[in-house]
């Protein structure tokens, strides 16, 4: 090789080393560590500039946005926690030519400034993620800060807004009133910590009222979280809030709050307003649907009533397949079975007890709106029957398979009443599981490497393995 070529290689290597040193200088070369002495409890101003600008201020202990609306406390807390954790000596570059590439230049980056009592305590530009965190520029240097993410600071305005419609707590509510835009009004009242309909004539005679469903409905109303807080009122023609469904609740001290549920938008979210307040929110479609209930939706949906301790026989009929399990002492045995019993089959009594637990706690999805002639329960496709001491029996029968909205469901009838309900396909398949679903599984062998664990931890891991098997 010629001397000139060797010299060129040496010069090139030297230049390459110089470039690497410029772009990846270690902190001992004179570049200060990136860290901010931030007392997050004293920060009272956050200014964010860039793709998603926002100004947040703490006043009288509460954070508000630049438009004066309350800020989402968790979002602010996450930003303050991130400020306090910024600490890095991992320098990426000091070359301004790379700032755009890392999204930390003035055009692409998100500039963050935090202040306390008028004094800036932290200021930096955060760019794209990298190195298990984000690229952060202060002055002419860019660091990688692990565990820090741009989205903590750069987010849409709605993500900074406090989207809780009410501040009251469910336990403070004593009455709920529902006044549909069309249809009869109805109300719930809490007495001795139990919810009940104020007018029992709102439901048919013999209706099984679910007090827990009523409590859940009241909690849903009080704890509403909006989908979005609109920048301005779109007007009644768009929102439909003047002729809306109305939902009110009354507190123990007599304070009354009223919510109006108006028209849906193109994205199916629904306009919402609160009496006496100028803000207009939107609720997600499913949230609005959970509010639009009638008293009939507060029906108790348990399907089976029985005393599990008195069960002596379990009969499962699934199409042409029939399995009868009988209790002998503390154990369960196979009585009759239309399936061929595999050689070496061993029945697991604990799985029979588990099936009885599933049966006794079975709940429908909702009452079935299907004609009796099409329900199929008179000629059931499957049934589960528990025979009890004294000759009593309890269980349910499955009829036709159909669709409820987009869900695959079965018509079902339990032994609590003669009404028809929809049950999930999962419940159908689980309750009608045949002989193989009761087979005792061999205990899983302990994997190597668990010997050093405590007995409790080892037992939990083995139980998880057993369940997976």
pLDDT 10s digits, 81-130: 999 889 998 999 999 999 999 999 999 999 999 999 999 999 999 999 98
Residue 301: phi, psi to the nearest 5?
-110, 10
Model confidence over 305-337: pLDDT tens digits? 999 999 999 999 999 999 999 999 999 999 999
Task: Count how many residues are written for the chain.
Answer: 469
Share of the chain above pLDDT 70, in %: 87
Residues 6+ apart with CB under 8 A from 226: 163, 164, 165, 272, 281, 282, 283
User: Would the pLDDT of 226 be above 70?
Assistant: yes
Residue 88, strand partner residues: 34
Residue 116, strand partner residues: 119
Contact 334, 341 (CB under 8 A): yes
Rounded to whole angstroms, the Cα distance separating 333 from 203 reads: 45
What mean pLDDT do residues 75-81 have?
94
**What's the Rg (C-alpha) of the chain?**
33
Model confidence over 27-54: pLDDT tens digits? 334 456 899 888 999 999 999 999 999 9
pLDDT confidence bin for 469, thresholds 50/70/90 = low
User: Would the pLDDT of 7 be above 50?
Assistant: no
* 3-class state of residue 367 by DSSP: strand
Rounded to whole angstroms, the Cα distance separating 86 from 74 reads: 19
Model confidence over 266-312: pLDDT tens digits? 999 999 999 999 889 999 999 999 999 999 999 999 999 999 999 99
pLDDT at position 26: 41
pLDDT at position 30: 42
pLDDT at position 33: 86
What mean pLDDT do residues 436-443 have?
86
Helices (H) and strands (E) in the chain, counts: 10, 26
pLDDT confidence bin for 446, thresholds 50/70/90 = low
């Amino acid at each position: 090789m010629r001397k000139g070529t060797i010299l060129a290689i040496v010069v090139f290597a030297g230049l390459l080393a110089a470039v690497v040193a410029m772009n990846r200088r270690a902190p001992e070369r004179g570049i200060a560590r990136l860290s901010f002495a931030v007392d997050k409890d004293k920060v009272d101003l956050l200014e964010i500039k860039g793709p998603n600008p926002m100004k947040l201020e703490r006043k009288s202990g509460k954070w508000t946005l630049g438009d004066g609306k309350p800020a989402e406390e968790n979002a602010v807390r996450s930003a303050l926690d991130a400020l306090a954790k910024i600490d890095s000596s991992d320098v990426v570059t000091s070359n301004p030519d790379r700032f755009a590439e890392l999204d930390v230049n003035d055009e692409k980056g998100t500039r963050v400034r935090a202040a306390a009592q008028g004094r800036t305590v932290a200021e930096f530009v955060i760019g794209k993620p990298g190195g298990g965190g984000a690229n952060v520029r202060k002055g002419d240097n860019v660091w990688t800060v692990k565990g820090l993410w741009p989205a903590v600071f750069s987010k849409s305005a709605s993500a900074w807004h406090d989207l809780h419609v009410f501040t009251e707590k469910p336990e403070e509510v004593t009455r709920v009133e529902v006044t549909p835009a069309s249809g009869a009004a109805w109300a719930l009242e809490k007495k001795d910590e139990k919810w009940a309909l104020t007018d029992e004539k709102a439901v048919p005679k013999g209706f099984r009222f679910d007090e827990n469903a009523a409590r859940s409905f009241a909690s849903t109303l009080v704890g509403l979280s909006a989908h979005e807080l609109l920048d301005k009122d779109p007007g009644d023609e768009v929102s439909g809030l003047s002729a809306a469904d109305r939902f009110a609740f009354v507190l123990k001290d007599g304070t009354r709050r009223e919510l109006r549920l108006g028209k849906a938008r193109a994205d199916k979210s629904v306009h919402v307003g609160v009496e006496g307040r100028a803000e207009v929110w939107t609720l997600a479609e499913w949230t609005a649907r959970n509010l639009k209930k009638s008293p009939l939706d507060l029906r108790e949906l348990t399907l089976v009533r029985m005393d599990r301790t008195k069960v002596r026989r379990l009969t499962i009929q699934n199409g042409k397949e029939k399995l009868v399990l009988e209790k002998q002492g503390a154990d369960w045995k196979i009585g009759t079975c239309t399936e061929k019993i595999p050689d070496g089959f061993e029945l697991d009594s604990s799985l029979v007890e588990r099936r009885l637990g599933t049966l006794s706690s079975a709940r429908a999805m909702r009452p079935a709106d299907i004609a009796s002639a099409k329900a199929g329960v008179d000629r059931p496709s499957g049934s589960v029957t528990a025979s009890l001491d004294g000759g009593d029996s309890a269980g349910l029968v499955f009829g036709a398979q159909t669709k409820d909205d987009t869900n695959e469901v079965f018509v079902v009838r339990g032994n609590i009443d003669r009404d028809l309900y929809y049950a999930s396909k999962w419940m159908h398949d689980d309750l009608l599981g045949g002989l193989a679903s009761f087979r005792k599984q061999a205990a899983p062998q302990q994997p190597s490497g668990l010997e050093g664990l405590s007995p409790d931890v080892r037992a939990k891991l083995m139980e998880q393995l057993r369940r997976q098997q």
